[in-house]
Chains A and B, each alone.
Chain A
Amino acid sequence: MDEMRYEAPETLDAAVALLAGADGDARILAGGTDVLVLLHSDMIEPGLLVDIKKIPELTSIAVEAGGFRVGAAVSAMELVEHDAFSKAWPGVIEGVKLIGSIQIMGRATMGGNLCNASPAADSVPALIAAGAIGTIVGPEGRRDVPVEDIATAPGETSLGKGEILVSFLFPPRPPHSGDAYRRFTPRTEMDIAVVGVGISLSLDDGGTCQAARVVLGAVAERALLVEAAAAALIGTPLDEAALERLAAAASAACRPIDDKRGTKEFRIKVAGVLARRAAQDALERARGN
């Protein structure tokens, strides 16, 4: 194998040019918690590794349009330590905190978690539930896409050659909004989600749900945004009947695999249970602000 070249450009244009001009496999290095494992186990043999952490747009957190713009290569720990973001999006933070150990969180990024495209990625359901928009820059310029359209299947994304996921734009939060992420794992730490559910919702002044997004992780080839599950909540005070319909809609949307971590039947059942619990967590937070 030819030796791998390492580049750490300081501008997006330079990074895009490197990736677009590469012969053979070129990979992006953000936190490295996935790509370096693949590299050192010879599962990938890239000729070029482009470290994007020296590009300011990738590593900054800023207020924009009443919401937040978070660089795709901001480390999980840096995001968790950002008080204003954590207060606005506690459900996103719940997911980010489960990406791995403290050591892994010091390096791992939300952009990497999304683009690694594991169906069980812990930060992704709440990220999609939040309605975040991904900004992608490539040889053809810049495009904004809903985050649910980025990971398409295990290990696969909709990014083209030379494209880089630069940042996430989180929308402003209306009053009485809350989000939550719940997952099931056999262990409480250092484990991979068997099922994960992210929910974001907003209430009107009377406590009726005005908007909701419900996302299931680890029950399909990618995280699923389930409109029928959200519809079960919208227009209701999240009473018992609504939660029952939510659980049923969540379970009905699952198309999981059987594996050593959980059977299909188990995942389908647990998706409903976790959807209900995540909705209750999100409701409590929405009532509190």
Chain B
Amino acid sequence: MARSHVTTTVNGDEYEFLCDAEQTLLDVLRDELFLTGTKEGCATGDCGACSVMLDGRLVCACLVLGVEAAGKLIETIEGLAHGDELHPLQQKFLEHNGAQCGICTPGTLIAAKALLAVNPDPSETEIRYWLAGNLCRCTGYDKIIRAVMAAAEEMREGRS
């Protein structure tokens, strides 16, 4: 059967691709569009490494089909920095050593950005619950939480 022809928008740019019905959005991002910043961890929706925004909602790209991306707005880690200027979350992850092996980092950053969009001043508990779907086997989470809190503070100051 013919592959589906899909047009979608990723980080503000329009992309076209062909995909099989079984292919996930994660497969498409990595293997068809070569946007390899989004990582595969478990591929079953448990680890959050492939977190992306789909029409403004935080989702696991492994649990979305590529064909479902037609006409949607997708945001991935590649869209976080502006040129050489890192997003405050990325900067604070560097400063607080929030990234170690790095596999969970893109998904965690996308999830953290989604949190700060709805809650610019989250408590530590709120951050921990929001990021419960992003597993990290290196940091013990504490550095990630500190980094998100620091970034949130900086972003609040930047707004005021």
Contact = CB atoms under 8 A, between A and B. Distances in A.
Contact of A51 (B20, B48, B58, B68): B68
A28 B38 CA distance: 27
Interface in A123-159: none
Contact of B63 (A8, A53, A107): A107
Given A101-B132, A103-B60, A106-B59, A33 B45 contact: yes
A94 B102 CA distance: 33
Given A33-B45, A33-B63, A51-B68, A102 B58 contact: yes
Chain B interface, DSSP helix/strand/loop, else mixed: mixed
A159 B43 CA distance: 29
Given A40-B24, A190-B132, A107 B59 contact: yes
A53 B57 CA distance: 15
B133 A104 contact: yes
A3 B21 contact: yes
B48 A101 contact: yes
A101 B62 CA distance: 14
Interface of A: 3-6, 8, 29, 31-33, 36-37, 39-41, 49, 51, 53, 75, 77, 100-104, 106-107, 189-190
A103 B47 CA distance: 10
A167 B146 CA distance: 42
A281 B30 CA distance: 47
Interface in B54-71: 54, 57-60, 62-65, 67-68
Given A49-B21, A107-B59, A102 B133 contact: yes
Interface of B: 1, 4, 20-22, 24, 43-46, 48, 51, 54, 57-60, 62-65, 67-68, 111, 114-115, 129-130, 132-134
Given A33-B63, A102-B130, 16 more contacts: A3-B20, A4-B22, A6-B21, A6-B67, A8-B68, A31-B63, A36-B65, A77-B57, A100-B133, A103-B63, A103-B133, A104-B63, A106-B54, A106-B57, A107-B60, A190-B133
A102 B111 contact: yes
Given A36-B65, A49-B21, A102-B133, A6 B58 contact: no
Contacts of A189: 129, 132
A37 B132 contact: no
Contacts of B24: 36, 40
A106 B118 CA distance: 14
A158 B6 CA distance: 36
A19 B83 CA distance: 48
A256 to B, nearest CB: 25
27 contacts: A3-B20, A4-B22, A5-B21, A32-B63, A32-B65, A32-B68, A36-B63, A37-B44, A37-B63, A39-B22, A40-B22, A41-B44, A75-B57, A101-B132, A101-B133, A102-B114, A102-B115, A103-B63, A103-B133, A104-B45, A106-B54, A106-B57, A107-B59, A107-B64, A189-B129, A190-B132, A190-B133
A20 to B, nearest CB: 20
Contacts of B114: 102
B141 to A, nearest CB: 12
A50 B131 CA distance: 31
B133 A29 contact: no
Contacts of B4: 6
Nearest to B19: A6
Contact of B1 (A3, A36, A107): A3
B59 A103 contact: yes
4 smallest A-B Cβ distances: which pairs? Answer: A101-B133, A6-B21, A189-B132, A106-B57
Given A6-B4, A6-B67, A104 B129 contact: no
